[in-house]
Structure 1
């Protein structure tokens, strides 16, 4: 396993998706507001972190590989803060496009006594215009031309960057150049990812996308739903994350249900980002889909032990992967 993890260091990954700032307000609660029946949070600390597709990039970086992000931000103070965070983390801004008519997405989490009290989202969910989609496509082509890209991750948060045209053109380009494509989908474009190598929905996304109920404890139901999805998309592999029920993997080589590892769960925020980043690198490094899913499942569980969105610890993941 050590040689696979060392191979990560030579890989380049392009992440296409909705980026955002994860803003945290930490504090203490010792009284109820006299204005309304809500707690008063006395602020002790504030912090901004890279979120969304940028958190996938952080996970790629944490695993030793080299990430490139293609995304849009607003021409606003939050956009400047985002670029500053990229620079602090040593990430390239080559694929970042500023758009005047859009705000930079910011998710503010208010945390007291190690529990999330509320979340405030500032964002738009409008699709990009055709002209702006063309700008993004040109950026994707430029990055693929300038750098050897081993895998492309679509990190879709339904904020409007990823459209059917963008998906179709990028997947076709990747197929022509032999680049692995992996997808972390959302509802809007769920059926647009035709012909990708790995499609990784969670249970909620699967049920919404197929418009059917699926009991995660009933593996026959899970198998039927995933088979239906695989046929609709023409995806080589579907990796369905089932939270505490683990992961179900289906490909032309068979099916496998991988159980979850017992963890002290503190926060599930960002776990999907870690899973898709780990899966992309494992596939690009040459692991089969079942070993890929085992390690990605392990990685997702590890980051849930921390409060807030944090990237995976490569050394700890390697240590636990050896025991699989």
Structure 2
């Protein structure tokens, strides 16, 4: 999807309605959604292949142009005449997020385009040496139950780690994956739980049940101001958040799953995966727009954290 930004100044209230008038100063389009995950992975030095379906429209062309600008692989992109390219436009003044306007279609892919997309992904997995598969699910209809089943089965056959950043529609469809990363709200709603965020022991008990039910190896739950929780078989770790000046939480989850993917692909243990991912998510929250993680800053902060421990 495209993350669009409109920066401006607010100096008065509209006489037509009690809303601020934004005098536009600048506009910018950036890569968003699953593309932001790919951008984070690329910024860390890996080579992502972004797979998605976009509209055969002007916004789709804008999206492809953004990929071209950073010399990003485009072979995984499929276009459709029956969908709009998702655009999220944020209006910002004095680093304050005023409003967001979404332009999108969220219906599931038609059977024909679904099959084309699945076969396209399979061909890429056969053609390239893949070290991890990431499902970045924004609940826009591109990821379907059949796609999840087919790609998960193929990845498991090839012994490729599978990581998932889920949403509600297909929450219970991601079975037999390596790492599942909901935020706390998604976890309690997806499992219909009545649980306080600070109840870590209770969270672990529910995590074990969920992992056994779904065949999930590692469960990584982001807890916003409380950090992250990771459950691995019969043990868990709770990594507290680092205190920061928060400017914008948009895209933090993308960064967490991106860094977790590379850590897992590199063979790191659960605690290290959680700790480094937690740091990365916090770093990008200090910036008032969606940006990829700075590899050097993450390395520097990681060294400090692990040296102190």
Task: Please indicate the TM-score interval, normalised by the length of the shorter structure.
Answer: over 0.9
Match of 2:199 in 1: 218
Q: Provide the C-alpha distance between the structure 1 equivalents of 2:96 and 2:15, rounded to a whole number of angstroms.
A: 22
Q: How far 1:135 moved relative to its partner?
A: 1.0
Match of 2:156 in 1: 175
Q: Provide the C-alpha distance between the structure 1 equivalents of 2:82 and 2:258, rounded to a whole number of angstroms.
A: 30
TM-score by length of 1: 0.93
Q: Provide the C-alpha distance between the structure 1 equivalents of 2:299 and 2:4, rounded to a whole number of angstroms.
A: 30
Report runs of 4+ in structure 1 exceeding 4 Å deviation. none
The answer (yes or no) to whether the contact 1:153–1:183 under 8 Å persists in 2 is: yes
The answer (yes or no) to whether the contact 1:247–1:259 under 8 Å persists in 2 is: yes
Q: Secondary structure, in 3 states, of the residue corresponding to 1:68?
A: coil
1:275 matched to 2:275: no
Identify the match of residue 109 of structure 2 among 128, 148, 151.
128
Unaligned runs of 5+ in 1: 1-19
Identify the match of residue 134 of structure 2 among 133, 147, 153.
153
Distance 1:218-1:253 versus aligned 2 partners, 3 A rule: closer
Q: How far 1:205 moved relative to its partner?
A: 0.7
Q: How far 1:274 moved relative to its partner?
A: 0.2
1:163 matched to 2:144: yes
The answer (yes or no) to whether the contact 2:208–2:234 under 8 Å persists in 1 is: no
User: Which structure has the higher relative contact order (CA within 8 Å, separation 6+)?
Assistant: 1
Q: Provide the C-alpha distance between the structure 2 equivalents of 1:234 and 1:290, rounded to a whole number of angstroms.
A: 20
Identify the match of residue 294 of structure 1 among 262, 266, 275.
275
CA-to-aligned-CA distance 1:271-317 (integer Å, 9 cap, x gap):
00000000000010111111011000000000000001000000010
**More strand by percentage:** 1
Q: CA RMSD in A?
A: 0.8
Identify the match of residue 312 of structure 1 among 283, 293, 297.
293
Size of the aligned set, in residue pairs, is 305
TM-score by length of 2: 0.97
Match of 1:49 in 2: 30
Q: Provide the C-alpha distance between the structure 1 equivalents of 2:303 and 2:117, rounded to a whole number of angstroms.
A: 40
Q: Provide the C-alpha distance between the structure 1 equivalents of 2:25 and 2:127, rounded to a whole number of angstroms.
A: 44
Q: Secondary structure, in 3 states, of the residue corresponding to 1:67?
A: coil
Q: Secondary structure, in 3 states, of the residue corresponding to 1:191?
A: helix
CA-to-aligned-CA distance 1:136-156 (integer Å, 9 cap, x gap):
111111211221110000000
The answer (yes or no) to whether the contact 1:32–1:39 under 8 Å persists in 2 is: yes
Identify the match of residue 88 of structure 1 among 69, 72, 75.
69
The answer (yes or no) to whether the contact 2:244–2:282 under 8 Å persists in 1 is: yes
The answer (yes or no) to whether the contact 1:191–1:232 under 8 Å persists in 2 is: no
The worse-fitting range, judged by mean Cα deviation, of 187-196 and 133-142 is 133-142
The worse-fitting range, judged by mean Cα deviation, of 128-137 and 181-190 is 128-137
The worse-fitting range, judged by mean Cα deviation, of 300-309 and 131-140 is 131-140
Identify the match of residue 227 of structure 1 among 205, 208, 215.
208
